[in-house]
Amino acid sequence: MSDIEKVQCLIIGSGPAGYTAAIYAARADMKPVMYQGMQPGGQLTTTNEVENFPGYPEGITGPAMMMELESQAKRFDTDVRFGFITKVDFSGSIHKCWTETGHEIHAETVIISTGASAKYLGLESEQKFLLNGGGVSACAVCDGFFYRGQETVIVGAGDSACEEAHYLSKLCTKVTMLVRRDEFRASKIMVERVEKTPNIEILYNTDTVEVIGEDVVSAVKVKNNKTGVESIIPATGFFVAIGHKPNTDIFSDYLNLDEVGYIKYEKPGTSYTNVPGVFVAGDAADKTYRQAITAAGTGCMAALDAERYLAAKGH
Ligand code: NDP
């Protein structure tokens, strides 16, 4: 078919990993084409203030930072496109990808930076305060600082919830953990750590009923799912730590994924996947750090690995 587009470097996803990969790839003259994906700018666009990305001493909002990254990538002629890749075929040396409109792209290298999506409870009140920046967050390391000296609630019982509750306990006067069963899922050592922290209160068998407040969060209504008793916990921040889902479904026929769906690195310390010429950066392969700066770092690695891969093929 004549309308097949051939590209040296296709970048899928537009968070800090994707844009950093684009900046490096474009400056190396790889003429990258980026598909921004369903949520242009990625998870950071749901973050209010970013204060921990080096180079912004006064902080910057998540959306503003993503616009800056986009303009930096475009400055070096990255072809940034609104749209998303819905299908891939990585069975040959040329990597075939299709967009949602059916446009077929043959890429010599592909950098996957599709990220992961935080899971939320799905309550209407939770989504309201998430969207208006009024006190719901899925990242304590990103947003905990805004609740210094205040009371917060965190839902979840895995390692992330324990880690984030402990992080919040150093900033907040009180942290209430909502555990839906009568036990944690997290490792023993993490559970012991939260149990031993005096300003963390653990409520077992407890579900969230509603996040309460006018424009900002002021309390959380919870219900004991054994007794049916409802209570109200005063809090200005509501943190959700019930897991993430990596956005990797379309690659599952070709790439090695772990049991949750994170892409496995073929060689530690690189961005290689098990398919030559396909590289991964950011949260699609990272369930541990999940920070904008670590995503940006791996985006740089992916572009350098892709450049070396092309050079070895004689480009
Ligand atoms: P997990 O999937 O391990 O845990 C999710 C937790 O959220 C579970 O306790 C689950 O409850 C709870 N949950 C899910 N849905 C709801 C809901 N609707 N309402 C209330 N609670 C809910 O995710 P994590 O992000 O914690 O961890 C992901 C992976 O990363 C794990 O393998 C973990 O070990 C690893 N990790 C390791 C760390 C470390 O070692 N330092 C730090 C962070 C993560 P239930 O138990 O009832 O299903």
Q: Is 121 in the pocket of ligand 1 (CB under 6 A)?
A: yes
Residue range(s) occupied by CATH 3.50.50.60 in the chain: 5-117+244-312, 120-240
Measuring from atom 7 of ligand 1, which residue has the nearest CA?
Answer: 242
Measuring from atom 41 of ligand 1, which residue has the nearest CA?
Answer: 159
Burial of 57 (0-12, 13-18, 19+ CB in 10 A): exposed
Q: Is 83 in the pocket of ligand 1 (CB under 6 A)?
A: no
Tell whether the torsion through CA atoms of 18, 23, 24 and 26 is positive or negative: positive
pLDDT tens digits for 230-288?
Answer: 999 999 999 999 999 999 999 999 999 999 999 999 999 999 999 999 999 999 999 88
- d(CA 291, CA 315) in angstroms, rounded, equals 33
Binned at pLDDT 50, 70 and 90, residue 1 comes out as very low
Taking the centre of ligand 1 as the mean of its atom positions, its distance from the CA of residue 13, in whole angstroms, is: 25
Q: Is 156 in the pocket of ligand 1 (CB under 6 A)?
A: yes
pLDDT tens digits for 21-69?
Answer: 999 999 999 999 999 998 888 888 766 678 889 999 999 988 899 999 9
Taking the centre of ligand 1 as the mean of its atom positions, its distance from the CA of residue 166, in whole angstroms, is: 15
* CATH number for domain 120-240, candidates 3.30.450.40, 3.50.50.60, 3.40.50.970, 3.40.190.10: 3.50.50.60
Q: What is the pTM of this model?
A: 0.80
Contact 178, 207 (CB under 8 A): yes
Question: Which positions are annotated as active-site residues?
Answer: 139, 142-143
Atom of ligand 1 lying closest to residue 242 CA:
7
CATH 3.90.226.10 fits 5-117+244-312, yes or no: no
Q: Is 235 in the pocket of ligand 1 (CB under 6 A)?
A: no
Q: Is 161 in the pocket of ligand 1 (CB under 6 A)?
A: yes
Q: Which two tokens stand for residue 23?
A: 């900046």
